A = this chain, B = another copy of it.
Amino acid sequence: MDNRGKKYLLKEKQDFQSDLGIIKEEDIENGEIGSELKTHLDHTFKIIKPTVNDFIDLMDRRCSILVQKDIGAVLSHTGLGSGDRVVDAGTGAGAIALNFANVVGSEGKVYSYEIREDFTEVANKNIENFGLKNIEIKNKDIKEGIDEKDVDLIFLDLPKPYEIFEEVYDSLKLGGWVTVYAPYIDQAELAYRVAKKLKFHNIEIIEIFERGIEVKAQGTRPKTRMVGHTGYLVFARKL
């Protein structure tokens, strides 16, 4: 982080370069979390251990990623915890897999299915850079089968998630959740109806809004700009 608050990712075995100057590779390696380094232009940078969100902000993001309000709702609604096993389909750049992996920890595991080879590569590089060992990216169409059993959470960010709900049911452990992210109401509705027909319980569609509040000298007010919609979340549980 520079003294303006802007953050950067350090890459291994490279000098760090920015518009505020260069920091030599050896200085970085000698530095620790919290230590301050100076560039050749005499600007100060601080080394900070990134949270999963810091990392996702800075990593290679070739495709749109789920926003925090929706990730939070998935985490809290399903009660995902340390040690859990997660399957996620539609890896993209790996952001949601990183979020899940951050929660399930070294005793848990995230299996992430991505049909496109280029996305798989980006995701693999991102995960390697962040240093998490508990994610396995699979360059495979999840519609051809889910290899895992006894899964706590299956998260689907796919156009027609309901097509594999029978397989999903078989792969979930008792008490496990499937969660669907659906931008269109039609998808969410169909996911609801299919889950109802199968043996799922606690089926719900929800939508999350987030609004920021700004505090200024003149007074306090909600922010003018707000995201009106990202997607619906459909939850269903095997009981």
* Residues 164-214 (chain A) with a chain B CB within 8 angstroms: 174-175, 183-189, 192-193, 196, 201-202, 204-214
How far, in whole Å, are A228 and B49 apart by their CA atoms in the complex?
Answer: 34
Binding site secondary structure of chain A: mixed
Residue of B nearest to A231 (CB): B221
Query: A196's closest neighbor in chain B, by CB?
Result: B215
Q: Are A220 and B184 in contact (CB under 8 A)?
A: yes
Chain B: CB-nearest residue to A78: B51
A residues 216-235 near B (Cβ < 8 Å) are 218-230, 232
Set of chain B residues within 8 Å of A206, measured between Cβ atoms: 210-213
Shortest beta-carbon distance, A171 to chain B, in Å?
15
A220-B185 contact given A79-B54, A201-B5, CB 8 Å threshold: yes
Within 8 A of B (CB), among A16-67: 33-34, 46, 48-54
- Copies of this protein in the assembly total 4
- Which of A106, A188, A211, A225 has the most CB atoms of chain B within a 10 A radius of its CB? A211
Asked, given contacts A51-B79, A76-B68, A83-B105, whether A192 binds B174 with beta carbons under 8 Å apart, the answer is no
Binds B, one of A86-94, A96-104, A117-125, A139-147: A96-104
The reply to whether A209 and B208 form a contact with Cβ atoms under 8 Å apart is yes
Judging by beta carbons under 8 Å apart, are B210 and A207 in contact? Answer: yes
A226 nearest in chain B by CB position: B228
Judge if A1 is at the interface, Cβ distance under 8 Å. Answer: yes
The distance from the CB of A152 to the nearest CB of chain B, in whole angstroms, is: 8
Cα–Cα distance between A73 and B67 once the two chains are bound (Å): 11
A149 contacts across to B, CB distance below 8 A: none
Contact call B82/A76, Cβ cutoff below 8 A? no
Query: In the assembled complex, which residues on chain B have CB atoms less than 8 Å from the CB atom of A1?
Result: 239
Is B204 within 8 A of A239, CB to CB?
A: no
Q: Which of B68, B193, B239 contacts A48 (CB 8 A)?
A: B239
Provide the bound-state CA to CA distance between A159 and B222, in Å: 17
- Residue pairs across A and B with Cβ atoms less than 8 A apart, 22 shown, are A49-B174, A51-B175, A72-B75, A81-B105, A82-B105, A83-B106, A103-B103, A184-B218, A185-B185, A185-B213, A186-B220, A187-B219, A188-B213, A192-B215, A205-B214, A205-B215, A206-B212, A207-B211, A212-B228, A224-B227, A224-B229, A225-B228
